């Protein structure tokens, strides 16, 4: 690709210039702080190369919060542009770029990493394991995700952002209609981070199936572990479709093949078909773990066993099967005919059955429970009604005939924000707050937490509820402006106010992280909420030592830790310590992923030399890993004893 310098670096837009300057300053500031406080070695040894599942989980969550900030700013810019008719804030091209990056980042680089982060933190602890099955792979998963996400994110300052929406329909995303490197960033960024997701799926399945502690039968597993297992199965089923589809579109764009082109016998609609064959299971990938999180929280803070555990498991399994049978409802209007549309209409409505079962199970768990309204619990209670509104409008959209009216209107936009925010985002926040003491050794401030919940929840409804009516009034999605005669002004303005409330709540949430770090009391027990039912609360200290359990707990029933507490058994009352076998840290994944970034960057601009250098680097890292012998290390029993005694005296907490 022949580019001049002013094409390589995006110029001419004041917002992007501001972005470039702030990126530059932030980078300089981070480098300065790390150098001044001599933290480079610490960063490398303790975090970048760490294979500890809890630390990798924290890295995932930090990255997800960063991405939530970035895509959230995108959302606020969109809402500002739409606040009034004929707004001169953004031009059409810039608006297209922003809704593309907002969607892609929120789904792939915010929701998924946030949930994978929480799984990383909680799942090994919940099943009573010391780490995941493949710790090296876990670190590699994080770094491939991170490098892919960064490759996607630099696009708006270098080369230009993709502008064909997150679904990147062909032929719009082809070279003819989307020239330049933007769409290539989308293809390669997602491709690279997809490697990490797939690896995480494999890792979690093996971990959950093979590394459960003694007595932890499948039907005794905590619900979050169950949903993580089934989510991982969906990942393994669905992500290869995305990998192949992305590779085919990459070939179309870089090497002139004709899989999805208009000319030479290509089938543009096959892209839509393959994209949603992955895309629909994907939305269950980001919602099922959330169901697990809420099941844990509702059961814990109602201080009751989860109602209908078995039906819950069956419902999740059914949803995972059905998730592969509904993808056509994303393009009912493509013209596949009445038989096809009716079939997918029915399968889509069927989804409401297992989901409804789960809603009633949660309500029944609450019934006659001794409910404690802690912050995670109010998120869970906010989730149930808000998510149900999203679900019911989903059933409305599922009717193929009616969908011809709703298709591509704000009604749809509102529907999927009601399920993705009231479901996924509420769940991420709830899980984040619930397991926060597990990660950092202190809770998030309760008073600020309540403010965050109410401002976010009310802002969310003010933002998206009017959009149902905008949709019914005929406002299409993905338009950058409208006229006063359209009559969409008041509802749009209201919606924008709500969006800024959500943005404000996010800022307070981040502030509460800082505030709580300064002022919250440090937890001294492994069960800071006092209502823990599952094994992650059975550790000796709030933040478990890096080997998690000095002695692996034994499980006799569901809700193992609750049973222990009822019987007065202390799982950390240990007479004799044994040595513990743990995996070694490795710098290889970070370097390998960096080469992936280099290779991807080369491909984006058709700079073959750089792409080849990057690829050689990737293979060199793989070879290095294959030929190195790494059996991990043993922590001597004496060291375990010392650590445990320090914990009991309260000397160890937090990172």
Partner 1 sequence: MNNNETLSQKERHFPWKHVVGFLTSIVLTLVALWIAFFSAFSVRTIVILIFSLAFVQAGLQLLMFMHMAESGSGRIQVGHILFSAFVAIIIALGSYWVMEFGIHLDHHM
Q: Kindly state whether residue 88 participates in binding partner 1, applying the rule CB under 8 A.
A: no
Q: How far is CA 492 from CA 93, 318, 410, 463, in A?
A: 21, 38, 11, 8
Q: Kindly state whether residue 241 participates in binding partner 1, applying the rule CB under 8 A.
A: yes
Question: Are 497 and 462 within 8 A, CB to CB?
Answer: yes
Among 192, 233, 298, 375, binds partner 1 (CB under 8 A): 233
Shortest spacing between CB 249 and partner 1, in angstroms = 16
3-state helix, strand, coil in the chain (%, to 5): 70, 0, 30
- Residues in a beta bridge with 635: 580
Q: Kindly state whether residue 20 participates in binding partner 1, applying the rule CB under 8 A.
A: no
Nearer to partner 1, 172 or 637 (CB): 172
Q: Kindly state whether residue 172 participates in binding partner 1, applying the rule CB under 8 A.
A: no
Shortest spacing between CB 93 and partner 1, in angstroms = 30
Which residues 351-380 are close enough to bind partner 1 by CB under 8 A? none
Nearest to 590 by CA among 139, 67, 174, 39: 139
Q: Kindly state whether residue 21 participates in binding partner 1, applying the rule CB under 8 A.
A: no
Nearer to partner 1, 205 or 378 (CB): 205
Shortest spacing between CB 331 and partner 1, in angstroms = 9
Q: Kindly state whether residue 328 participates in binding partner 1, applying the rule CB under 8 A.
A: yes
DSSP H or E run through 214: none
Which residues does 352 contact at the CB level (< 8 Å), separation at least 6?
391, 394, 395
Shortest spacing between CB 261 and partner 1, in angstroms = 12
Size of the site for partner 1 (CB under 8 A): 21
Q: Which window, 55-63, 308-316, 323-331, 641-649, contacts partner 1 (CB under 8 A)?
A: 323-331
Backbone φ and ψ of 85, nearest 5°: -65, 150
Nearest to 192 by CA among 146, 134, 241: 146
Q: Kindly state whether residue 620 participates in binding partner 1, applying the rule CB under 8 A.
A: no
Dist. CA 649–CA 655, nearest whole Å: 17
Residues 274-303, one symbol each (x = binds partner 1 by CB under 8 A, - = not), give: x--x--------------------------
Angle between helices 338-366 and 375-398 (to 10 degrees): 160
Nearest to 578 by CA among 635, 646, 648: 635
Q: What is the DSSP letter of 536?
A: G
Which residues 244-273 are close enough to bind partner 1 by CB under 8 A? 265, 267, 269-270, 273
Shortest spacing between CB 357 and partner 1, in angstroms = 21
Shortest spacing between CB 471 and partner 1, in angstroms = 26
Shortest spacing between CB 218 and partner 1, in angstroms = 9
Shortest spacing between CB 579 and partner 1, in angstroms = 22
Q: How far is CA 211 from CA 208, 221, 230, 564, 578, in A?
A: 6, 12, 16, 21, 19
Task: Say how many Å lie between the first and final Cα of the chain, rounded.
Answer: 47
Shortest spacing between CB 198 and partner 1, in angstroms = 14
133-151 residues labelled b (16+ CB within 10 A) or e (exposed): bbbbbbbbbbbbbbbbbbb
Q: Kindly state whether residue 336 participates in binding partner 1, applying the rule CB under 8 A.
A: yes
Q: How far is CA 406 from CA 32, 231, 280, 438, 644, in A?
A: 52, 29, 18, 44, 60
Nearer to partner 1, 267 or 458 (CB): 267
Q: Kindly state whether residue 321 participates in binding partner 1, applying the rule CB under 8 A.
A: yes
Residues 200-229, one symbol each (x = binds partner 1 by CB under 8 A, - = not), give: ---------x--------------------
Coil, strand or helix: which one is 9? Answer: strand
Binding site for partner 1 (CB under 8 A): 209, 233, 237-238, 241, 265, 267, 269-270, 273-274, 277, 321, 324-325, 327-328, 335-337, 340
């Amino acid at each position: 690709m022949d580019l001049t310098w002013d094409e390589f670096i995006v110029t001419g837009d004041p917002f992007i210039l501001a972005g470039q300057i702030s990126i530059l300053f932030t980078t300089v500031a981070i480098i300065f702080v790390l150098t001044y406080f001599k933290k480079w070695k610490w960063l490398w040894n303790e975090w970048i190369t760490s294979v500890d599942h809890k630390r990798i989980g924290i890295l995932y969550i930090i990255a997800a919060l960063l991405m939530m900030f970035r895509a959230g700013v995108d959302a606020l810019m969109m809402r500002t542009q739409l606040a009034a008719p004929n707004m001169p804030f953004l031009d059409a091209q810039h608006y297209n770029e922003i809704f593309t990056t907002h969607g892609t980042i929120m789904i792939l680089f915010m929701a998924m990493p946030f949930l994978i982060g929480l799984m990383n933190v909680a799942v090994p602890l919940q099943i009573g394991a010391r780490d995941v099955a493949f710790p090296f792979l876990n670190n590699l998963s994080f770094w491939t995700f991170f490098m892919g996400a960064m490759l996607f994110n630099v696009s708006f300052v270098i080369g230009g952002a993709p502008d064909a929406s997150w679904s990147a329909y062909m032929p719009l995303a082809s070279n003819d209609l989307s020239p330049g490197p933007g769409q290539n960033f989308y293809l390669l960024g997602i491709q690279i981070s997809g490697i990490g997701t797939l690896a995480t799926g494999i890792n979690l399945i093996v971990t959950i199936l093979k590394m459960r502690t003694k007595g932890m039968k499948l039907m005794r597993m905590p619900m979050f572990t169950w949903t993580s297992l089934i989510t991982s199965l969906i990942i393994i089923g669905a992500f290869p479709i995305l990998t192949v589809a992305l590779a085919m579109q990459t070939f179309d764009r870089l090497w002139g093949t004709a899989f999805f082109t208009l000319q030479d016998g290509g089938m543009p609609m096959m892209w839509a078909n393959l994209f949603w064959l992955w895309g629909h299971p994907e939305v269950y990938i980001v919602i099922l773990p959330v169901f697990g999180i809420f099941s844990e929280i509702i059961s814990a803070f109602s201080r009751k066993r989860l109602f209908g555990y078995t039906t819950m498991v069956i419902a999740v399994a059914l949803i995972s099967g059905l998730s592969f049978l509904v993808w056509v409802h994303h393009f009912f209007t493509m013209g596949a005919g009445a038989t096809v549309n009716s079939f997918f209409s029915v399968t889509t409505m069927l989804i409401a059955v297992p989901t409804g079962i789960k809603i009633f199970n949660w309500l029944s768990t609450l019934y006659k429970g001794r409910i404690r309204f802690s912050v995670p619990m109010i998120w869970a209670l906010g989730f149930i009604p808000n998510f149900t509104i999203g679900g019911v409008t989903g059933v409305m959209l599922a009717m193929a005939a009616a969908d011809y009216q709703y298709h591509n209107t704000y009604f749809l936009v509102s529907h999927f924000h009601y399920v993705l925010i009231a479901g996924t985002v509420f769940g991420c926040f709830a899980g984040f707050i619930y397991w926060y003491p597990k990660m950092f050794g202190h809770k998030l401030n309760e008073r600020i937490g309540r403010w965050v919940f109410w401002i976010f929840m009310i802002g969310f409804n003010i933002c998206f509820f009017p959009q149902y009516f905008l949709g019914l009034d005929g406002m299409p999605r993905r338009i950058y402006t409208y006229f006063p005669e359209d009559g969409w002004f008041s509802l749009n303005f209201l919606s924008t106010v709500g969006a800024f409330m959500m943005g404000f709540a996010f800022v307070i949430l981040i502030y509460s992280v800082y505030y709580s770090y300064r002022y919250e009391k440090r937890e001294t027990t492994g069960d800071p909420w006092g209502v823990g039912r599952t094994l992650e609360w059975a550790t000796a200290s709030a933040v478990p030592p890096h080997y998690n359990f000095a002695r692996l707990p034994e499980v006799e029933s569901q809700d193992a830790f609750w049973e222990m507490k009822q019987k007065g058994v202390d799982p950390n009352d240990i007479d004799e310590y044994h040595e513990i076998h743990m995996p070694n840290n490795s710098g290889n994944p970070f370097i390998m992923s960096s080469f992936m970034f280099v290779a991807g960057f080369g491909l984006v601009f058709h700079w073959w030399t750089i792409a080849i250098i990057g690829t050689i680097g990737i293979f060199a890292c793989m070879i290095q890993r294959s030929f190195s012998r790494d059996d991990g290390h043993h922590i001597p029993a004496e060291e375990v004893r010392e650590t445990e005694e320090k914990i009991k005296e309260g000397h160890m907490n937090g990172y």
